[in-house]
Structures are given as structure tokens and as C-alpha cells.
Structure 1
Amino acid sequence: MRFRRKVQIVGGSTYIISLPKEWVERVNLRQGSELLVEVMPDLSLKILSEDVLSKAGDEVSEYRIDFMPGNTEFFIAKVIASYVTGYDKIVIKYPNITSKELSEVMDLISKKTIGLEVVEEGQDYIALQCLASLSTLSLREVLRKIISLSEDSFKDIENYFITGNAVLLDRVVERDDLIDKLYLYGLRQLNHVLLGKTTLAEIGLNNPAEILYLVFILKTLERIADHLFNIAKQLKEIQAVGKIIQLENLIKELKRNYSFITNYIPIKFKAESLDELGKLLTKLKAIEAAPYVGDFPHSEYVSLRESVKRISAYLRDLIEIILDNYALKDLISSTSRQ
């Protein structure tokens, strides 16, 4: 619903507008009722009634799910989906499950979530609730941590080529679980904004349209981390130190490009010219097109090379998403000035 109202001035300094009768009746306003008026970053106003405020503060959204023996993977996926969607509480019923199976399931859930803790346990059920909040881990910090962890993975792979120390590759593999957790938690925060549980200002955004770009950015960063994970696992299996000089050089170049590009990600806010990003698009395409050079067995090199190409392609995607987002910011800025 959309309503047009004229501003009235009372007493020479108080600006008032009438509220739509349909809305007043729907939210049960009475004389003396309190309203919360929030000024949004785009200078629009958000008006909340007392009833909505009290419900938002007291109501806990709850999702119930039955454990599915023999299909643990699908069950875990449903739990993660309810967590990402934004449910506060997840109740799992398990009439036929051993304590060992339950422990294994909880370990899998813990590897994928942040702040999801057991708050209640009965004879045939367990209740989980997300205790993490914006105050403990903001979206800005989620992005920073994902970027920092991936930069560490690039460095570890690069140093592995120098030292041959396989422990560096183990660190890359272990780091992937944490990046996945941060990615899913970031999506949960964005869903909270869409559901009205969190304001745009609280996560550093100015317009709801920016949420779409941040979803793409989070997913792209997560996919890059996945391919770093794949490279580390493959290198450990084939022990290729000193045998694939071309791959070493490509990893170094991708690491430099990754650090440069992520400086432009929204919420990190590094205000610079975007021209350099355009030049990188051509360089990244060259990485993807580079022919195989070396005497290392081609069959074992192919999967490694494919992961490198995918990282390069995702970096190009990231540039395009960043350019789109900056164009959106310009559009919002120009519209607000009119």
C-alpha cells in the first residue's frame, strides 16, 4: 500500500501528517499509542507501532524438524537452511537415534554455523538457538575475516612451494570450515534485514538493493576459498614442490589480484578510482587462457589448473559485481539529490 499525504505545520514549528486509516486500524492504534519513527540511510522514514515493537522484542521464530535416519546429509542441509533463513530457534525431534548418531549430527551442524547452541534438551528432542548477534560479529567483520582467511590460504600455498612443508596445506584445508561458517552467518544477517529484524544502517548499508550484491559477493568469496581448499588437497596428494613453476607464478599473481580487488568490496569502503579494476579484467582473462608449460604430468596438472582458472574467473565476477554496486550507489546518490 502507498499513500500520499500533505505536510501540515502546527504552531509554526511542528510538522505533521495524517496516518492512513487502514493502517491505523490494522495495527490497532489508539489515542496515546507510541510509534517509533526511524530515519533510514536513504532519508525515507520507517514507522513501527507499539504492538510490532513488542512482538519483535519478545517473539522467537521457531522451526521444527524431524531427524531422518539414513539421510543425514539432507537433514543437515535443512537445519542449515533454517539457520540461514533467520530462525531464532530450531527444534530437532529424534525418536529413534543413538547418542553417538546425535553427537555426530551436532558436530556437523557446529562445523557450519556460528552461535547455534543447545538451549533445551528433552527425552526425544533437542532445541538449538542462535546466540550470536550483530554486536558480537557484524557483517563488516564477516567480510573482513573471510578476505583475511583467504589471503592467509594464498600465502600458505605460496610458502608451500618454497618450503615443501605440507603442514601449510593442512592449514588451508582446516581454514575452509571457518570460511563456510562465516559465509552462512553473513547470509543469515542479510536475511534478518529482509525480515525486518535488523535495520540497513546496523549492517552499514544505505539501500535494500545493495543486499543482492552482497549475497553475490559472499558467495563468490566462498567459492574462491573452496578452490584454494581444492588446490591444497591436490598438492598434498601429488607432492609437486618445484615441479610446477607455472602454477607457483599463477598463485602469486592471483594472490596480488585478490588483495587488490577485495579493497573495493562494499562495507570495506576504500574510495579510489575504479579504472584499475577494468585493467585487471584483461589480465585475469590472460591467466585463464595461458597454455600449459612444463614437464610435470599433464593429467595430474589439469585439475590444479582448473581450480586456478576458476579462481581467476571468480575474481572477474567479483570485479563486475563491485562495478555494479558502485553504479547502484551513484544512482541512489543522484536520485536523492533531485
Structure 2
Amino acid sequence: MRKKNYMEDDDEKTMESRKIQVSAGGSFFIVLPKEWSKSIGLRKGERVDVFLEEDGSVRIVPAEITRERVKTATLHVDEKVTPKALDLFIKANYMAGCSIINIESKERLNSELKKAVKASVAELIGVETAEETSDRLSLRAIVDPTGFPLQNLIKRVYSLSTSMFVDARKALSGGDAELADDVVDRAKEAMKLYRLMVRQLMLAHADRTTAKNLGIENSTECIILAVMARDVSRLIYHISSMAKYVKGVLEAGFQFNGKLADLMSKIFDLTQKMIEDAFRAFMERDAELANEVMGNMDRIRELDEIITTEIFETVKDVREAIRLTSILREVRRVAGYTVAVADDTVFNETIRFSSRPA
């Protein structure tokens, strides 16, 4: 019995060994397996695109596939599909790189589901309704990947994250509940950028030309950037959550005593610096600065403990004390995600250094 190749499954081989042959003119060529050629519809005289991959391998793709790479997702709606599930389907497929997202039903799409679709579209960059009938909605992503280089997106998210944190802090110190609300609203814009970042990375991972146009060096960097985008989305979430708690404290009419205000100012100052340094370290590939960010977390924990003790010793109203510790908890979590971004920087630089030729 022939030994099964490790690259085979029960139905089909996924690896073949071929000898390199040389034509009379000196060109190198190989013969493609007949079964493979048939299965992907290759015919005599047709063109294929040949790609040299970063690991030294060669990838051959039918030219037709390269030209017509349009990813489509379709959801068939029934009475069990909720607006929330519909929202998740649309956003997940947008982030996965789909160009067309169809929502179809055997019956008429009810108004609640149509509203959910339009609400989802409003939270995505570069998506429009291409077709709408009583039983079908077709969405098309019209955003050009090359129009949003990853470095530019990271800079925009950095600017937005920093301004959100600064303004949440100002809202607390200045007693401005309206400014706290504004911070929460800006989080929605930041999440739009996050979803676009993930979409760009998925497209880059699938196509080397797109990756090059976006400024991505290799597939490993795609993975690291995706992890970084996820960490940034959590950082944004906790800044938004912090702003919500700030609004609650302000609406309750709480007044800080001098010592507590000074302590809160210290943890705000350090966290703000960590946000700025973490993004700068990532964009400038500065592993030393990233390590400084990570080293600051010990001081954050120390301040957290001191401030928590001060709150429960000086704030007599239990509900007010809980609101204040909730703000403190979110600040600590924001700092924690700056450490995650810094860690992404160190990992990225480690991979880049280790992959360089000796």
C-alpha cells in the first residue's frame, strides 16, 4: 500500500512533486498536474498570474480569478433572525473583506430588519445600499483599499483616542456632562476606523499587491496589526465607558476634595502619557519606548490602590464611592491596553529582526 502523503486528504492531493525542465531557449518550466488544471478550469492558451511569495515559494493563480476577485456573502432571513444577529452578520462580513453583502428573504423583509440593516451601514465606512426590494437588500463596499493606508488609519485612531481621553478627563474636572456625552459619541467614529482597519488587513492578507499598497511588508505583519487593532478597539471601549461613568458622577453632583483630585490627576497624567507613547512606539517601531510604557504599569497599579483607599476613607456615600471606583477601574483598563499595544510593538520588532537575512 502506498504511504499517504502528509499533504493529502481522503479525496484529493494538495501537493505534487515535479521536476524542473528547461526549454530550448533556456526558460524553466514545470508541468501542472492534469487533475488540478481541470478542477480549476484551466484551458490551453489561457493566462495565469505568477506570484513570488515572501517565503520564496511561487504561487500560480488563473488570471480570471485575479481580475474578478469579488467576495460575496448572503444571509437568508427567516423569522428567527434578530436585528442584532443581522447587525453582526453585516459587520463581520464587511471586516472579512466582502465586497457584496446580500440580505434575502422568501417573504417580505419587515421594517425592523430593514432599519437594522441601515443602522449597520451607518456604522461602516464606504458601504452603500446597491439594491433594495421588498424581499432583498444588497450592500456594496465601495471603499478603495489603497485610499486608506494602514499607517494613516493608525494615526487617525491615535488622534481620536487621545482626544477622547483628554476630554473625558476635562469633563470630570470641569463638571461638563455634555462633553462626556461627546466622548461617547466619538467612540462610534473610532469603531468605524477599527472595522475598516480589520477589513484592510483581511484584504492585504489575501492579496500581496494590496498589502504592498497598504504599506504592509509581509503576512506576519498582517497578523500583528490585526492583534494591535483589536487591542486599540478595547482601549477605545474603555475610554468610552470611563466617559459614561464620568457623566454619572457629574449628574450625582459629586465634588472632589483636594487630595483626591490631586491623586486622580496623577493617574490621568500617567495614563495619557502611556496612550501617546504606546501609539508613537508602534508607529515609529521604537521597542525601547514600548518597554517604558510597559514599565509604567506598576505605577498605575500603585496609584490605583492608593486612590481606592482614599475614596473609601473620604467618600461617605457608598453609591458615589462606587461610581468613582468605576471611573478608576476604566482608567486602569485603558492603561492596560496601552501595555498591550506596546507589547504588539515589541513582538513586531522581534519578528522583523529575526526574519532578516543573516
Q: TM-score, normalised by structure 1?
A: 0.83
Tell me how far 1:312 sits from its aligned partner. 1.6
State yes or no: 1:18 paired with 2:30.
yes
Secondary structure of the residue aligned to 1:153 is helix
State yes or no: 1:313 paired with 2:341.
no
Contact (CA 8 Å) 1:151, 1:255: kept in 2 or not? yes
1:332 counterpart residue number: 355
Contact (CA 8 Å) 2:285, 2:345: kept in 1 or not? no
Contact (CA 8 Å) 1:192, 1:198: kept in 2 or not? no
Range that drifts further, 224-233 or 316-325 = 316-325
Q: Equivalences for 1:48-63 in 2 at 5 Å?
A: 48-56=61-69, 59=70, 61-63=72-74
1:226 counterpart residue number: 237
State yes or no: 1:207 paired with 2:218.
yes
Instruction: Name the Cα RMSD after superposition.
Output: 2.9
Q: Equivalences for 1:43-192 in 2 at 5 Å?
A: 45-56=58-69, 59=70, 61-66=72-77, 68=79, 71-93=82-104, 95=107, 98-99=110-111, 101-102=112-113, 104-192=115-203
Percent of counterpart pairs with the same letter? Answer: 19
Partner residue of 1:285 out of 268, 276, 298: 298
Secondary structure of the residue aligned to 2:281 is coil
Contact (CA 8 Å) 1:112, 1:184: kept in 2 or not? no
2:6 counterpart residue number: none
Q: Equivalences for 1:245-256 in 2 at 5 Å?
A: 245=261, 246-256=263-273
Q: Distance in 2 between matches of 1:68 and 1:139?
A: 40
1:322 counterpart residue number: 345
Q: Distance in 1 between matches of 2:242 and 2:179?
A: 12
Q: Distance in 2 between matches of 1:43 and 1:250?
A: 49
1:33 counterpart residue number: 46
Q: Distance in 2 between matches of 1:72 and 1:26?
A: 40
Q: Distance in 1 between matches of 2:125 and 2:242?
A: 26
Tell me how far 1:43 sits from its aligned partner. 6.1
Q: Unaligned stretches of 5+ in structure 1?
A: none
Contact (CA 8 Å) 2:18, 2:30: kept in 1 or not? no
Structure number with bigger Rg:
2
Q: Distance in 2 between matches of 1:241 and 1:43?
A: 64
Secondary structure of the residue aligned to 1:209 is helix
Tell me how far 1:147 sits from its aligned partner. 1.5
Q: TM-score, normalised by structure 2?
A: 0.79
The amino acid that maps onto 2:330 is S
Structure 1's consecutive aligned runs of 4 or more residues displaced over 6 angstroms after TM superposition are none
